[in-house]
Amino acid sequence: MASGFFAILDDIAFLMDDVALATKIATQKTAGILGDDLAVNAEKATGFLSERELPVLWAITKGSLINKLIIVPVALLLNVFLPAAITYVLILGGLYLAYEGVEKIVEYTFHHPKKEHSVIKENEPGGDVINTDNEKTKIKSAVTTDFILSIEIVIIALGSVAEENLTLQILTVSAVALLATVGVYGIVALIVRMDDAGRRLIEKSGDKGLFAKLGHLLVKSLPVLIKILGAVGTVALLLVSGGIFEHNIKYFHDLLPNIPKIVKEFGIGLIAGLLVFLIFSGFKKVFFKAKSSAMESPDSAGGVR
């Protein structure tokens, strides 16, 4: 009886060793995507009042965990019963990422100020203005982008253990998915609280000495870091989308073999994003024009006797 119990423990230990090794390999293969995920979400988790940064980040983190809970079982089931569908899911996700990247470029290039609807919460000290519409929009955008990037992370992790048994696949993909969320959003939390850490250092040191200088450096560095991460995140969206097309569509894989891979992937992502952006913009114009005509037609009809 005792020998059987210890044999089970040995099996579990061997399985955990296999999972650790497979997770390490899968994490290395997804490192680029995780870096892109970090850059994109750091930019999306900023721009709020100091006291709202962590609640917003926590809402995004919860959304990311829910994404993983949906994606991991679906990916495992598709891998078993309908593996061809994974490619189409990746391509659709790539189109969304490309569109979002181009949309950011267009907004930066042709910026039009938008009216914001702010809400003042009575329980906020000093009557701070909380732009709840902006919060909800950013959280939704961040969770949606995380969903697409999570698909890519999970698929790459699954591909690294495709030849292993189902138990090892489940444990490895689940471990990578959890590490992706905890690691990425843990680092994002540190980034968005840089300025608060700097202010505390300044206060504790009495604005004198080395710690005060470090505090001022942290406070001044955050806006610069966010701008850099915003630019990196935009490029990352286009690179990831272009990489998806290049890896999963033979035509793009064989296209222009002499061009550096990173340049080709960026170009493919940019062109795909522009096409989707133009199609979507045209659709929106047609839709709003039809809606406007429908709203005006009863008035014009009522004027004719």
More confident residue, 287 or 1: 287
Can you give the pLDDT at residue 27?
67
| Residue 137 is assigned to a structural domain of this protein | no
Can you give the pLDDT at residue 224?
85
Pair of tokens at residue 229: 């991460």
CA–CA dist 53, 58 (Å, integer): 9
Reply yes or no on whether the pLDDT at 129 is more than 60: no
Q: What's the total number of domains in the chain?
A: 1
The amino acid at 141: S
- What pLDDT band is residue 152 in, cutting at 50, 70 and 90? confident
| Residue 113 is assigned to a structural domain of this protein | no
Q: What is the domain extent for residue 153?
A: 2-108+142-190+237-294
| Mean pLDDT score across all residues of the chain | 78
Question: In degrees rounded to 5, what are phi and psi of residue 130?
Answer: -110, 115
| Residue 131 is assigned to a structural domain of this protein | no
- What pLDDT, in 10s, does the model give residues 162-208? 777 888 888 888 888 888 888 888 888 888 788 888 888 898 888 88
Can you give the pLDDT at residue 116?
41
The amino acid at 172: T
Reply yes or no on whether the pLDDT at 121 is more than 60: no
| Residue 73 is assigned to a structural domain of this protein | yes
Reply yes or no on whether the pLDDT at 11 is more than 70: no
Reply yes or no on whether the pLDDT at 277 is more than 70: yes
Can you give the pLDDT at residue 51?
72
| Residue 209 is assigned to a structural domain of this protein | no
- Per-residue pLDDT, averaged over 101-130, amounts to 59
- What pLDDT band is residue 160 in, cutting at 50, 70 and 90? confident
Reply yes or no on whether the pLDDT at 305 is more than 60: no
Can you give the pLDDT at residue 169?
85
Name beta bridge partners: 130.
119
| Residue 201 is assigned to a structural domain of this protein | no
- Per-residue pLDDT, averaged over 27-52, amounts to 66
More confident residue, 131 or 232: 232
Q: Which of 232, 247, 283 is nearest to 93 (CA)?
A: 247
Reply yes or no on whether the pLDDT at 285 is more than 80: yes
CA–CA dist 145, 156 (Å, integer): 17
- What pLDDT band is residue 49 in, cutting at 50, 70 and 90? low
| Residue 258 is assigned to a structural domain of this protein | yes
Reply yes or no on whether the pLDDT at 293 is more than 50: yes
Can you give the pLDDT at residue 266?
93
| Residue 29 is assigned to a structural domain of this protein | yes
Percent above pLDDT 90 for the chain: 10
- Per-residue pLDDT, averaged over 12-26, amounts to 69
- What pLDDT, in 10s, does the model give residues 57-69? 888 889 989 999 9
Name the one residue in this structure whose structure tokens are 């949906």: 70
The dihedral region occupied by 114, where left means phi > 0, alpha psi between -120 and 50, and beta the remainder, is: beta
- Encode the chain in three state secondary structure: CHHHHHHHHHHHHHHHHHHHHHHHHHHHHCHHHHHHHHHHHHHHCCCCCHHHHHHHHHHHHHHHHHHHHHHHHHHHHHHHHCCHHHHHHHHHHHHHHHHHHHHHHHHHHCCCCCCCCCEECCCCHHHCEECHHHHHHHHHHHHHHHHHHHHHHHHHHHHHCCCCCHHHHHHHHHHHHHHHHHHHHHHHHHHHCHHHHHHHHHHHCCCCHHHHHHHHHHHHHHHHHHHHHHHHHHHHHHHHHHHHHHHHCHHHHHCCCCCCHHHHHHHHHHHHHHHHHHHHHHHHHHHHHHHHHHHHHHHHHHCCC
Can you give the pLDDT at residue 73?
92
- What pLDDT band is residue 130 in, cutting at 50, 70 and 90? low
- Per-residue pLDDT, averaged over 16-24, amounts to 71
Can you give the pLDDT at residue 56?
84
